[in-house]
Amino acid sequence: MTTLEFKIEINAPKEKVWDILWNDATYKQWTSVFCEGNYVVSDWKEGSKIQFLSPIGDGMSSIIYKKIDYEYMAFKHLNEIKKFKEMPADDTTKEWSGTMETYRLTEKNGQTVLKAKMDSVEKYIDYFNTTFPKALDLVKKLSEGK
């Protein structure tokens, strides 16, 4: 398991960046680089389940491990979802079950630094190293109104 780290500076207050990250409409926009039509099902409360889903119902079931509004969000990934149903753990799932994905926002003088970290299995490292910066660039553009 490898922890990948990504960082971007955004010319917007952290409250605006937070809203872009987790608002339903803009979440769909910036995560479209991973899968067109991505969406989440959650009440967005710490400790609650969250499902990251594709339009055909495939994705991941996780929990909101830690949430500090406008500062920090951590997801602990648990199970795979196929056609809207959580799948029992198998050897592939066991490889990544329990991995973390975190987002930290710090602001200074109206500029926000967004740091994202995620645990990845070896076979997805190149994909995330290519795709995740594109997603964060979209967060930046949406937050800065470009």
DSSP 57-81: S-EEEEEEEEEETTTEEEEEEEEEE
Q: What is the pLDDT of residue 97?
A: 87
Q: What is the pLDDT of residue 93?
A: 80
Beta bridge partners of 108: 111
Rg (CA), the chain: 15
Count: domains in the chain = 1
Residue 29 structural domain: 2-144
Contact at 8 Å (CB) between 40 and 50? Answer: yes
Looking up residue 12, the CATH number of its domain turns out to be: 3.30.530.20
Q: What is the pLDDT of residue 107?
A: 96
- The pTM score is 0.94
Q: What is the pLDDT of residue 125?
A: 94
Of 44, 40, 15, 41, nearest to 30 (Cα)? Answer: 40
Q: What is the pLDDT of residue 34?
A: 93
Q: What is the pLDDT of residue 110?
A: 86
Please list the pLDDT of the chain residue by residue as tens digits (146 residues): 899 999 999 999 999 999 999 999 999 999 999 999 999 999 999 999 999 999 999 999 999 999 999 999 999 999 999 999 998 888 878 888 889 999 999 999 989 999 999 999 898 999 999 999 999 999 999 999 96
Contact at 8 Å (CB) between 75 and 100? Answer: yes
